[in-house]
Amino acid sequence: MLFMEKQNIFCRFSHRNHALSVGLQKIMFGKNSSIYLKNGIYLFLNAVSRHLRFCRSRAKAQMACAVQKGVLYLGRLLNQVRIRGIWMEIQLWRQILNPYELAVRELITKFNHVIREHREKGLYSPIEHVCGRVKAVPSILDKLQKKKITLDRMEDEIDDIAGIRITCQFVEDIEKVVELVRKRSDMEVVSEKDYIHNTKPSGYRSYHMIVDYQVETLQGPKSLRAEIQIRTLAMDFWATIEHSLQYKYKANIPEHIRERLSNAADAILALDKEMSSVRSEIMDAQNSSLSQLKLVEDILNNIENLYRISNKREVNKIQDEFYRIYQMHDITKLKQFHRQLDIISEGYRAQAVTVDLEEQ
């Protein structure tokens, strides 16, 4: 009976002890300064409990139980310290990366505004799309390790914690975007790398600009570095695929895949050249569809305004006329209609002002 009970105690004990050991090993893998202390206490308690394991009396078995509880308590305590430690690390990273998040959001908004400004003026925008990201913590740690940079030098040595990617339709647009960035007064260019004319051995092509950018935080203004990558849609397609393979294979992309990627990079180069040769035709077509879109938008705004100030039956007639002309797909007729509508609207507005003045 006593033997059975002891077996039971020891069985549970070694089970929990194993779980605890796994937990402690996990702690030991962490870079905690008190690791040797934890290790020492753990080994000591383990030795005591191993000694008590061979005892035969009930008193000693109870003592083993007490040691087991002690070990478990210590485990829980260490676990709490560990969880608090990780939480503190997360808080610390969040604190460091927060201004970079803000910078990425601000820069995306600003470059998107450049697109909008061009389109509102009916102009072709050299920027097609903007996106951005804050570098993931493991990616930062990998870079620190690769370049042998200490954590305290991170913000000074890693320039792409905040990263913006601008994609353009044509290679010619890249230079225009570069000029646009150089001229901005809210960022200062620190360095530039031209991988368009100096293609990387991998086949990577892109234009990189490192800029100094200032954000406002609760602690006051903070100046930080951001990387702006500028490339065509085709270059972006290649780089995205190649980057995902780098992630999978680390530095060891198999030779046959590397060769295919290199061929694909050549094809991308040819594609960009081909698109450039018809750039002016494509831009003309895009501009005309853009101006048609703006024209239709203006006409609809005019009709909506007329609804508020004039006879509804008459506005319905104007609307029907617009649908009739729109279906003709004739931009000249649409422009004519737009001008006539402007004159009608002007007339109604003048009438409304006269009535207002008479009432006063």
Tell me the sheet residues that pair with 226: 162, 211
What is the total count of residues that contact ligand 0O2 (CB under 6 A)?
12
Q: Are 206 and 212 in contact (CB under 8 A)?
A: no
Verify binding: residue 200, ligand 0O2, rule CB under 6 A: yes
> By 3-state DSSP, what share of the chain in percent is helix, strand and coil, each rounded to 5?
70, 10, 15
Among 39, 98, 139, 199, binds ligand 0O2 (CB under 6 A): 139
Among 82, 118, 119, 143, binds ligand 0O2 (CB under 6 A): 143
Known catalytic membership, residue 128: no
Handedness of CA 70, 72, 74, 76 (dihedral sign): negative
Amino acid identity for residue 136 in this structure: A
Residue closer to ligand 0O2 (CB basis): 173 or 227: 227
Compute how many other C-beta atoms are within 10 angstroms of the C-beta atom of residue 189. Answer: 15
* Three-state SS at 216: strand
Q: How far is CA 129 from its chain centroid?
A: 13
Q: How far is CA 197 from CA 194, 204, 225, 266, in A?
A: 6, 11, 24, 14
Amino acid identity for residue 218 in this structure: L
Among 53, 82, 129, 193, binds ligand 0O2 (CB under 6 A): 193
Q: Which stretch binds ligand 0O2 (CB under 6 A): 38-46, 65-73, 197-205, 285-293?
A: 197-205
Q: CA-CA distance, 257 to 242, in Å (whole number)?
A: 10
Q: Are 91 and 78 in contact (CB under 8 A)?
A: no
Closest CB 239 distance from ligand 0O2, rounded Å = 4
Q: CA-CA distance, 131 to 262, in Å (whole number)?
A: 26
Site for ligand 0O2 in 233-272 (CB under 6 A): 239, 242-243
Residue closer to ligand 0O2 (CB basis): 108 or 334: 108
Q: Are 115 and 127 in contact (CB under 8 A)?
A: yes
Closest CB 228 distance from ligand 0O2, rounded Å = 11
Catalytic residue among 157, 227, 321, 346: 227
Closest CB 133 distance from ligand 0O2, rounded Å = 8
Closest CB 261 distance from ligand 0O2, rounded Å = 9
* Three-state SS at 208: strand
Closest CB 10 distance from ligand 0O2, rounded Å = 51
Residue closer to ligand 0O2 (CB basis): 140 or 187: 140
Q: Which residues contact ligand 0O2 by CB under 6 A?
A: 135, 139, 143, 160, 193, 200, 202, 204, 208, 239, 242-243
Q: Which amino acids are annotated catalytic?
A: 227
